[in-house]
Amino acid sequence: MASCSSSFEAPSSILIIGSGVFGLSTAYELCKNDIFKNTSITLVDRQPFPAPDSSSIDTSRIVRADYASAPYSRLAAAAQNLWRTTFAPQHYHENGLCITASGPEQKYVSESLANVQSLATCKIEVLKNSEDIKRVTGIEKAFEDACGSLGYVNWSSGWVDAEGAMRWLRSEVEKFNRVCFITGTVTRLIIDHTTQTVSGVRLKDSTPLVADLTILAAGAWTPSLLDMRGIAKATGQILVYLPVTPTEQANLQHRPTLLNLSTGLFLLPPHNNLLKTARHGHGYTNPTTIPHPESASPSATLTVSLPSYHTVADSPVPPEGLHAARTFLASVHPSLATPSRPFAWSRVCWYLDTRSGDFIIDHHPDYKGLFVATGGNGHAFKFLPVLGDMVVKCLTGKIPEDFCGLWEWPRERVAEEEWKGDGSRGGPVGMVLGEEMVRAVSRL
């Protein structure tokens, strides 16, 4: 049995790879925590902050505590209290979240509902039919085939301007004057195979960055630096942005976010005259053959799913995704989905999915000097106010009881076909990005 508590001595230097929610919140917590008073802290990212193609930078992220798992519900509620009060509250909006489903995904909805109700609050409204959903969300059209569909709105949920909140956190970290920020692409961990120790990283221009402890928080790119086969994989999710008029925005901006778990598609309230539609689905994989990140042999390779691009500009959404987003919009707001209204832009945004949906926040079992903080699974953003604290607790051997075991490095690798998933994904299964890019929508 892994122990949930162990002794810890602060390293003299820590290098964090990645300035997303995992990496930046960890830097913040290290600055605040006296144990690390004498530790030098470096944060490296391949992009200048804020990295526009990272998963932590976007117009919006949903903040909700309605999880099918009680520990995450409690943690999200704690994070939400901070969003409301001291943690970038100017970027947080409490509009409510309406979750609906028809078919098998109803199970997730009912389980979440049970948890949310066990938290014993009263701002929940159960939606029994499509007319209820229409009234609450302000959609133009009731779902025609929603017979038997179930949903609820939790008026205590909200959304946050993700980029705004990340910029706020970055400036808070800068105030400590402790963190050395470096822009550079890490190409490899420096691994000594005789001692099984990681002593830092090598950048693209061959510069080494040496540290006693390396924290790998590279999000969906993590599998390019560590063999994550059978543990975690990158999946691409769609985002599209539709320009709306100020009047259209005024009509919808105080309405709840609408999430249809059956398709994974959701619609955020418009902000800055942009309406965002996205899909929380099984996503696209992008199998890529790369040099084996842990092998000493230069000819060893492995094939893993990785983000497909290096800039937002070259990450267009495949026709299938644009079609799905437009069909969803047309089913709820026909006037916004007419062909004469093109999307302003679209993007594929990458999750790092683990097989259960749980994060991985743990010391690497094989390498001394390496800690991993990743596996956002499309749901980590809301935890930003508490995530760094969780990472540092796990790092120092004080794993919160709720999460004991849940976030540990998996003891065995499991073939992807056998992954259970987190139960919250809807929509198409098994799509490969390269195939979808060249597939015409008419084949759907």
Ligand X SMILES: *[C@@H]1O[C@H](CO)[C@@H](O)[C@H](O)[C@H]1NC(C)=O
Ligand Y SMILES: Cc1cc2nc3c(=O)[nH]c(=O)nc-3n(C[C@H](O)[C@H](O)[C@H](O)COP(=O)(O)OP(=O)(O)OC[C@H]3O[C@@H](n4cnc5c(N)ncnc54)[C@H](O)[C@@H]3O)c2cc1C
Q: Which span (35-43, 51-59, 185-193, 291-299) binds ligand X, by CB under 6 A?
A: 35-43
- Residue 22's binding partner out of ligand Y, ligand X, none, with CB under 5 to 8 Å set by partner kind: ligand Y
What letter represents residue 174's amino acid? E
277 touching ligand X, by CB under 6 A: no
- The neighbour count for residue 49, using CB atoms within 10 Å, is 17
Give 194: exposed, middle or buried? Use CB within 10 Å, 0-12, 13-18, 19+.
exposed
Positions of E strands within 84-196: 92-93, 97-101, 124-127, 150-154, 158-160, 179-183, 186-192
Min dist CB 144 to ligand X, Å, is 7
Q: 13-52: which residues touch ligand Y (CB under 6 A)?
A: 17-23, 44-47, 51
Contact stretch for ligand Y (CB under 6 A) within 35-43, 86-94, 349-357, 409-417: 349-357
Near ligand X by CB under 6 A: residue from 82, 119, 182, 404: 119
Residues 6 or more apart in contact with residue 122 via CB below 8 angstroms: none
Q: Is residue 426 within 8 Å of 260, Cβ to Cβ?
A: yes
Q: Does 217 bind ligand Y (CB under 6 A)?
A: yes
Q: How far apart are CA 189 and CA 243, in angstroms?
A: 43
For the CB of residue 58, give the shortest distance to ligand X in the complex, in Å.
Answer: 20
What whole-number distance in Å separates Cα of residue 148 and Cα of residue 130?
A: 9
| Residue 122 contact partner, candidates ligand Y, ligand X, none, CB within 5 to 8 A by sort of partner | ligand X
Residue closer to ligand X, measured from CB, 281 or 369: 281
# binding residues, ligand X (CB under 6 A): 32
What's the rounded Cα separation, in Å, for the pair 232 and 373? 12
CA nearest neighbour of 22 among 360, 396, 410: 360
Q: Which two tokens stand for residue 127?
A: 């939606």
- In terms of phi and psi (left: phi > 0; alpha: psi -120 to 50; beta: otherwise), the region of 21 is alpha
Task: Give yes or no for residue 37 binding ligand X (CB under 6 A).
Answer: yes
Letters for 126-165 (x = contact with ligand X by CB under 6 A, - = none) are ----x--x---------x-xx--x-x--x-xx--------
CB of 145 to ligand X, least distance (A): 5
Give the residue, chosen from 151, 200, 219, 369, that forms a contact with ligand Y under the rule CB under 6 A.
219
SS (H, E, C) 206-265: CCEEECCEEEECCHHHHHHCCCCCCCEEEEEEEEEEEECCHHHHHHHCCCCEEEECCCCE
In whole angstroms, how far apart are CA 243 and each of 230, 248, 334, 337, 347? Answer: 40, 10, 14, 11, 15
Write out the binding residues for ligand Y, residues 166-205 only, by CB under 6 A.
185-186
380 binds ligand Y (CB under 6 A): yes
- Of the candidate spans 53-61, 127-135, 335-343, 360-368, the one that interacts with ligand Y by CB under 6 A turns out to be 53-61
Q: Is 311 exposed, middle or buried (0-12, 13-18, 19+ CB in 10 A)?
A: exposed
In contact, 66 and 97? CB cutoff 8 Å: yes
Q: Which is nearer to ligand X, 120 or 438 (CB)?
A: 120
In the complex, the smallest distance separating the C-beta of residue 201 from ligand Y, rounded to whole angstroms, is 8
Q: Which of residues 272-331 bind ligand Y (CB under 6 A)?
A: 278
Considering only residues 42 through 61, tell me which ones interact with ligand X, judged by CB under 6 A. none
Residues interacting with ligand X, by CB under 6 A?
34-35, 37-38, 64-66, 77, 80, 100-102, 116-117, 119, 121-124, 130, 133, 143, 145-146, 149, 151, 154, 156-157, 260, 262-263
Residues interacting with ligand Y, by CB under 6 A?
17-23, 44-47, 51, 54-56, 61-62, 185-186, 217-221, 225, 237, 239, 278, 349-351, 374, 376, 378-382
